[in-house]
Chains A and B, each alone.
Chain A
């Protein structure tokens, strides 16, 4: 059996990457020469806020001159290796539109150029994963075999769409006692090489674009989740040992679009229509129900789809890296601050097992 307990207390790690300033790209941040931050060490960043500059600390901070290869080495290498050992792994990309998420994850042209030095974390992860698989298979003299399948979904407005089958209607999350959480009916494509995996990813990525124009959904407001399920089978003395793990690559909605849900502070929820106010009233009450006093309570409002789907990736037995991309331009100060805050909060997210222990009368 696989009792994966992690003694590593930092199951969620945060990587901050600062992109270079933009020139002639048509982005609103173009030509902004004033910086709002400096990288002060490999794990600290100083934001030039007023009246005092503020320093933030993370697991890693990469300055503008960091190579794609070193991002991969720090963030993904370990996670891919853990996947080979049966752990689930997740890499989240977060940040404002134009802060370099796509560049970090995919690379400059988004597609196909497999040998490009500029290729991103995802193609490198695929290469490394299949390199490890092939090595294992050889080493085991064929007693070990691997099966890889990929799915690619998008969550927009709390609805799930299959990016590998754009004709399908929205899908549901379900749970199975053996399989955990899964998207019911999502297409799974078998892949046997890094190139094939990358092809599946590219296809989904293209579909995301198509969907965003034809169905009026915006990619900067949706989360995309690419999942590679790895199943290894080992035959030893006629005993078959199967284990599975998942590698999730998540492109989170642009941080500037999340104001409604995340960075709100004490803003009041308005009641422009009474139905909306009812929904929000529930959230107010939820905030009142104290969890810390040991009382047992049920809250009727479900987790967001993304949190539910990736529950296993937050704490417990999974390895998680969050890459938060920021733009150094002073025009982006507000967004950068909120991204840095988000990244700091992310480290605190953790699933915990609350053990209901009866402390009274047990020691006799």
Chain B
């Protein structure tokens, strides 16, 4: 029986080691004008290895594989699809033929990767498909399962690169199912294909084998996450992102800060879907794992060395980013609860509240509420659970519950602001303030005491007003627009609350002058900021745009409508002032009506406002005429 002599085999192993070194190490130093020099050298070595193996096969009379070349080429089946029988059929790996087929498959695999790396995709594909063909003759076993997975990972990458995402999906899903079945039926640490070409004493330990194999499968999941994302299957993609993260954590293959940021980002996916339990879990894990990145270097240490300064910057920034993800968690939880609980005029609906309370109690009684996903390794599991306990994942149903969530959110606001200070991080700082304001706004909904609710809105004004006035209007136009609108709405809300209060107190008697003064102040402040917003849309010469852009269309119409309404509400005992206010009111109502007539597509953006404006354009002239008549009579 012809076989490679031990010397020949040694030469093959040496070539392989050399090829690996060229590919992984030397290639990084290849010059820009000869980018693939080392890879081409590695390719030559791999080809020589292939020839040696082939020669050995051909010289081997006993197990001559006569069929290979005359076999009809199987119709190309790049979708892979199952290969369920690969566990039960084919050569066993301890047969000579099985061993040889796996080795040839491995060389084809390395050649395939080499060609893909050097941008020769079709040649790469051919080698990878040859690898598949060799493997088709083999039964899955611990000697070759790693290669079964790796070659499919590579084919997945290759087909995705050609925009044939379904083909990529087929290969990757097969890799996934092979891994699962292997782990179920065998599970022993498999041989890595790099071991095919190295001497006995250089074989990997069981631990190293497990690590390499698990890493390959982690990559399968990571590629599947991307494939599903491209296919628009977001939920599936998110699940695979989660699995990838979970495996990294379990297998201790992660950089703590990167991992934590990914988990925090994943939490944002869950909260935008309303899955707060999952969102909270991701965030708690992010907080715990970011702690594994170590202490923030002190300011003194940062001044000593640039490396420490960089580390300080990085850690502080990323932890603040995680805090900001927590803020969004609290904010969305409060807002979703508000949405569920409010009636058609935006007040707390107590019937709904009772109903939701009962539903929650029922759920709590039904045992078996389970965590749908769990992050953690042995070391982190308990700490993650204890971070989770600090905030509820349930939608708050009353003020006490809402306040609990608000306070957690506010705590993260303060944490995030420590790094994102106004001086240096204007945009980030303001975004955090906007969230803080939004937290107050959501909390105010749950507050039953009107006076205290008003104070919460006052806090919003206090935090946003000075900044709005200080910001450079040229560089921060868009942020200022948001601030102006929010301030206008906040004053508007406060004015409404004052009116509610006043109506309660003074059912029979007329309003006292102090209340009127206060009321008029809130009214004018609101109108002022709406007007500032509208002015920001005009040209430097003060000309209003003829066509409102889509992103400001509704806000601009709403602002006009509010300005009209606010002027109609201002209280004055002086008829000329009253007349003035009514005229301004009419003018703004008219604008809304006329704009929508000239731009019919705009009507849908502000339906209610348009309807009421039309009504007012009909009514106000009567009121104005009556006032004029009275003024004339008094003169």
Interface residues of A (CB under 8 A from B): 1-7, 9, 85-86, 88, 174-181, 218, 244-245, 265-271, 274-275, 277-279, 281-282, 284-290, 293, 295-301, 312, 315-317, 351-358, 360-364
Q: List 6 A-B contacts (CB under 8 A).
A: A174-B425, A266-B165, A268-B157, A275-B258, A353-B478, A363-B612
Question: How many Å lie between the Cα of A296 and that of B151 in the bound state?
Answer: 41
B219 at the interface (CB under 8 A from A): yes
Our pick among B327, B427, B546 for the contact of A175 (Cβ within 8 Å) is: B427
**CB within 8 Å for A7 and B272 given contacts A177-B470, A281-B245:** no
CB pair B262–A317 under 8 Å, yes or no, is no
| Residues in chain A near residue B435, CB distance under 8 A | 296
B483 to chain A, nearest CB (A): 10
Interface residues of B (CB under 8 A from A): 32, 156-157, 160-161, 163, 165, 168, 215, 218-219, 222-223, 225-227, 229-230, 234, 237-238, 241, 244-245, 248, 253-255, 258-259, 261-262, 264-266, 268-269, 271-272, 318, 321-322, 324-325, 327-328, 331-332, 335, 342, 344-347, 422-427, 434-435, 438, 441, 467, 470-479, 481-482, 485-486, 489, 492, 496, 535-540, 543, 545-547, 549, 551-552, 554-555, 558, 608-609, 612
Question: How many Å lie between the Cα of A348 and that of B155 in the bound state?
Answer: 35
Question: How many Å lie between the Cα of A271 and that of B261 in the bound state?
Answer: 18
A269 to chain B, nearest CB (A): 6
Our pick among B225, B253, B538, B552 for the contact of A284 (Cβ within 8 Å) is: B225
A196 to chain B, nearest CB (A): 26
**CB within 8 Å for A285 and B345 given contacts A180-B472, A268-B226, A354-B551:** no
Our pick among A268, A298, A357 for the contact of B324 (Cβ within 8 Å) is: A298
Question: How many Å lie between the Cα of A7 and that of B434 in the bound state?
Answer: 27
Question: How many Å lie between the Cα of A293 and that of B336 in the bound state?
Answer: 13
**CB within 8 Å for A5 and B537 given contacts A295-B272, A298-B327, A353-B481:** yes
Question: How many Å lie between the Cα of A214 and that of B482 in the bound state?
Answer: 47
**CB within 8 Å for A287 and B422 given contacts A7-B545, A180-B475, A300-B265:** no
- Name which of A176, A270, A298, A317 has the most chain B CB atoms within 10 A of its CB: A298
Question: How many Å lie between the Cα of A1 and that of B538 in the bound state?
Answer: 13
| Residues in chain A near residue B253, CB distance under 8 A | 274
CB pair B238–A288 under 8 Å, yes or no, is yes
Question: How many Å lie between the Cα of A266 and that of B435 in the bound state?
Answer: 35
CB pair A86–B540 under 8 Å, yes or no, is yes
| Residues in chain B near residue A300, CB distance under 8 A | 261, 264-265, 318, 321-322, 324-325
CB pair B156–A268 under 8 Å, yes or no, is yes
CB pair B475–A268 under 8 Å, yes or no, is no
B124 to chain A, nearest CB (A): 13
- Name which of A218, A278, A287 has the most chain B CB atoms within 10 A of its CB: A278
| Residues in chain A near residue B472, CB distance under 8 A | 177-180
CB pair B426–A4 under 8 Å, yes or no, is no
A127 to chain B, nearest CB (A): 25
**CB within 8 Å for A175 and B425 given contacts A281-B225, A285-B262:** yes
| Residues in chain B near residue A356, CB distance under 8 A | 434, 438, 482, 485-486
Question: How many Å lie between the Cα of A269 and that of B608 in the bound state?
Answer: 48
| Residues in chain B near residue A179, CB distance under 8 A | 472, 475
10 additional contacts, CB 8 Å, given A177-B472, A271-B223, A361-B344? A7-B546, A176-B423, A268-B157, A284-B241, A296-B335, A300-B324, A316-B477, A355-B554, A355-B555, A356-B486
Question: How many Å lie between the Cα of A274 and that of B342 in the bound state?
Answer: 48
CB pair A354–B482 under 8 Å, yes or no, is yes
Question: How many Å lie between the Cα of A4 and that of B608 in the bound state?
Answer: 30
**CB within 8 Å for A282 and B424 given contacts A296-B435, A356-B438:** no
**CB within 8 Å for A7 and B489 given contacts A271-B219, A301-B265:** no
Our pick among B261, B347, B467, B535 for the contact of A3 (Cβ within 8 Å) is: B535
A352 to chain B, nearest CB (A): 4
CB pair A176–B474 under 8 Å, yes or no, is no
A218 to chain B, nearest CB (A): 8
| Residues in chain A near residue B229, CB distance under 8 A | 284, 287-288
| Residues in chain B near residue A270, CB distance under 8 A | 157
CB pair B477–A268 under 8 Å, yes or no, is no
| Residues in chain B near residue A85, CB distance under 8 A | 540
**CB within 8 Å for A286 and B539 given contacts A353-B482, A364-B496:** no
- The B contact surface, by secondary structure, is helix
Tally A-B pairs: CB < 8 A.
223
B282 to chain A, nearest CB (A): 10
| Residues in chain A near residue B543, CB distance under 8 A | 7
| Residues in chain A near residue B269, CB distance under 8 A | 285, 288-290
A-B residue pairs, 5 tightest by C-beta: A361-B346, A180-B475, A7-B545, A175-B426, A300-B321
CB pair B478–A351 under 8 Å, yes or no, is yes
**CB within 8 Å for A286 and B265 given contacts A3-B538, A316-B478:** yes
B175 to chain A, nearest CB (A): 13
CB pair A355–B346 under 8 Å, yes or no, is no
**CB within 8 Å for A360 and B342 given contacts A1-B473, A285-B241, A354-B551:** yes
Question: How many Å lie between the Cα of A105 and that of B347 in the bound state?
Answer: 60
CB pair A355–B474 under 8 Å, yes or no, is no
CB pair B225–A312 under 8 Å, yes or no, is no
Chain B residue at minimal CB-CB distance from A361: B346
Our pick among A6, A175, A362 for the contact of B424 (Cβ within 8 Å) is: A175
B326 to chain A, nearest CB (A): 9
| Residues in chain A near residue B327, CB distance under 8 A | 298
| Residues in chain A near residue B478, CB distance under 8 A | 315-316, 351-353
CB pair B258–A312 under 8 Å, yes or no, is no
CB pair A7–B226 under 8 Å, yes or no, is no
| Residues in chain B near residue A355, CB distance under 8 A | 481-482, 485, 552, 554-555
CB pair A296–B160 under 8 Å, yes or no, is no
| Residues in chain B near residue A3, CB distance under 8 A | 473, 535-536, 538, 540
Question: How many Å lie between the Cα of A312 and that of B427 in the bound state?
Answer: 12
CB pair B272–A290 under 8 Å, yes or no, is yes
Question: How many Å lie between the Cα of A124 and that of B608 in the bound state?
Answer: 53
Our pick among A1, A271, A299 for the contact of B268 (Cβ within 8 Å) is: A299
A58 to chain B, nearest CB (A): 21
Question: How many Å lie between the Cα of A156 and that of B477 in the bound state?
Answer: 29
Question: How many Å lie between the Cα of A244 and that of B472 in the bound state?
Answer: 11
| Residues in chain A near residue B427, CB distance under 8 A | 175
CB pair B545–A265 under 8 Å, yes or no, is no
**CB within 8 Å for A296 and B328 given contacts A267-B160, A285-B265:** yes
Chain B residue at minimal CB-CB distance from A292: B272
CB pair B332–A296 under 8 Å, yes or no, is yes
Question: How many Å lie between the Cα of A354 and that of B272 in the bound state?
Answer: 17
CB pair A279–B258 under 8 Å, yes or no, is yes
CB pair B477–A298 under 8 Å, yes or no, is no
Question: How many Å lie between the Cα of A284 and that of B346 in the bound state?
Answer: 37
Question: How many Å lie between the Cα of A87 and that of B548 in the bound state?
Answer: 20
CB pair A277–B222 under 8 Å, yes or no, is yes
B137 to chain A, nearest CB (A): 29
| Residues in chain A near residue B237, CB distance under 8 A | 284, 288
CB pair B262–A180 under 8 Å, yes or no, is no
Our pick among B160, B482, B540 for the contact of A2 (Cβ within 8 Å) is: B540
Question: How many Å lie between the Cα of A2 and that of B222 in the bound state?
Answer: 50
| Residues in chain B near residue A277, CB distance under 8 A | 219, 222
**CB within 8 Å for A298 and B163 given contacts A3-B538, A281-B241:** no
**CB within 8 Å for A268 and B551 given contacts A5-B537, A297-B268:** no
CB pair B241–A9 under 8 Å, yes or no, is no
CB pair B473–A5 under 8 Å, yes or no, is no
| Residues in chain B near residue A271, CB distance under 8 A | 218-219, 222-223
- Name which of B470, B472, B475 has the most chain A CB atoms within 10 A of its CB: B475
Question: How many Å lie between the Cα of A329 and that of B275 in the bound state?
Answer: 53
CB pair A4–B477 under 8 Å, yes or no, is yes
